[in-house]
Amino acid sequence: MTHLPYIVAAYGLTLGVAAILSINATLRLRQARRRLAAIEQPRTRQPS
Amino acid sequence: MNATQSLTARTGNLFHRYANPGRFLRMGAKLQPWLTWPALVLSVAGIVWGLFFSPADWQQGDSVRIMYVHVPTAWLASSGYMGLAVCSLLSLVWRHPLADLAAVEIGPVGAAITAVCLATGSLWGKPMWGTWWVWDARLTSVLVLFFLYLGHIALIRAFDEPQRGYRAAAILGLAGAVDLPIIKFSVQWWNTLHQPDSITVTGAPTMSTSMLWPLGLTTLGFTLGFAAIVLARLRASVMESRVRTILAANRGRQSATAPQPERATS
């Protein structure tokens, strides 16, 4: 492979950005779900 | 006129059925694994196939393998902006609340993918053309698309009142869609260093099926991955918005029930 550094850089960059976007979305979703559950729980416990 | 109005209203009603946050969150939670897992499997299969099992090009050698990540990101840069333009239309015509939130979430993902497209293109261009960059019509129009994404990201967050930001960004989103046909046809309209499209809707592909299969897998996998990331961000955004609404309602209730300071009567 004569152009190995270019190929490695292209794949590394693509997979790196994909990983950052995926992890960011997962953590944000998890945090939002936890916050919503924490806020909604006391509301559901209130007597009607 | 009436027929047009009723068609617009009926289309609006159809879209607004999915504007209910609770319904969207339930639907999104069901849809998420159907996007995420196939995206992962198809992307890994396509990348492994493209890197290790597809043949090298007779002219470009092994550097043709960059195609398996460059072409899907190029496709997603344009189709992501098309999604942004559709959200802009839904926002401007039908005031769809989820369309605004979707536009907020598509912007950064689309910009990141467009940056990857430009970078992988440069990494492919250097060994093939001998240069990282040329002011070629295709490259320049994709760079303009990247700036359109950045402009959208900045504009949608630029106002204290979010609705004003949504309106302004929606206008930019729609106007910027003019760049999409320019990107598509730039290699036909101008004499460019960038090669013409190898895959077209009407004609037969000009590349070997042994390369076409891994390219198809990565394109489909990346597309599902893009949709999965945007959906996860959108679900998070809807939940965050719900949290803000509940907190604001709680604050309003507390201030309403709090004892009022006595006013001095003259």
pLDDT in tens, B144-172: 999 999 999 999 999 989 899 999 999 99
Q: How high is the pLDDT of residue B69? A: 96
Distance from CA of A11 to the nearest CA of B (A): 7
The two structure tokens encoding residue B134 = 């040329």
Best of B32, B35, B66 to mutate (most A CBs within 10 Å, chain A):
B66
Q: Cβ of B63 and A9 within 8 Å? A: no
Q: How many CB atoms lie within 10 A of CB B130?
A: 7
Cβ(B37)–Cβ(B52) below 8 Å: no
Best of B40, B42, B52, B65 to mutate (most A CBs within 10 Å, chain A):
B65
Residue A16 to residue B136: CA distance in whole angstroms:
27
Burial bucket for residue B261 (CB in 10 Å: 0-12, 13-18, 19+): exposed
Cβ(B234)–Cβ(B84) below 8 Å: no
| B57 DSSP β-pair partners | B61
Residue B31 to residue B28: CA distance in whole angstroms:
5
Residue B173 to residue B152: CA distance in whole angstroms:
7
Residue B207 to residue A39: CA distance in whole angstroms:
55
Q: Cβ of B66 and A7 within 8 Å? A: yes
Q: How high is the pLDDT of residue B10? A: 66
Residue B246 to residue A32: CA distance in whole angstroms:
13
Q: Whose structure tokens read 């204290």? A: B160
The answer, for A40 touching chain B at a CB cutoff of 8 Å, is yes
Backbone torsion region of residue B95, taken as left when φ is above 0, otherwise alpha when ψ lies between -120 and 50, otherwise beta: left
Q: How high is the pLDDT of residue B23? A: 87
Q: How high is the pLDDT of residue B115? A: 97
Q: Cβ of A9 and B123 within 8 Å? A: yes
Distance from CA of A45 to the nearest CA of B (A): 15
* SS3 assignment, position A48: coil
Distance from CA of A17 to the nearest CA of B (A): 7
Cβ(B127)–Cβ(A8) below 8 Å: no
Provide the residue-wise pLDDT of chain B in tens; the chain has 266 residues: 455 566 666 666 666 666 778 888 999 999 999 999 999 999 999 999 999 998 888 888 888 999 999 999 999 999 999 999 999 999 999 888 899 999 999 999 999 999 999 999 999 999 998 999 999 999 999 999 999 999 999 999 999 898 999 999 999 999 999 999 999 988 888 887 787 777 666 666 677 888 899 999 999 999 999 999 999 999 999 999 999 988 888 888 888 777 766 655 54
| B61 DSSP β-pair partners | B57
Write the CA distances from B185 to B75, B77, B135, B196, integer angstroms.
14, 15, 16, 9
DSSP B180: H
Provide the residue-wise pLDDT of chain A in tens; the chain has 48 residues: 578 999 999 999 999 999 999 999 999 999 999 999 998 876 665 554
Q: Cβ of B61 and A36 within 8 Å? A: no
| pLDDT tens-digit series, residues B108-134 | 999 999 999 999 999 999 999 899 999
Q: How high is the pLDDT of residue A41? A: 75
Closest residue to B69, CB basis, from A14, A26, A36: A14
The answer, for A37 touching chain B at a CB cutoff of 8 Å, is no
Residues of A within 8 A of B116 (CB-CB) are 13-14, 17
Q: Cβ of A35 and B109 within 8 Å? A: no
The two structure tokens encoding residue B238 = 């809807």
Q: Cβ of A10 and B233 within 8 Å? A: no
Domains along chain B with CATH numbers: 35-54+61-193+211-245 (1.20.120)
Write the CA distances from B196 to B68, B78, B92, B141, B260, integer angstroms.
16, 16, 35, 15, 73
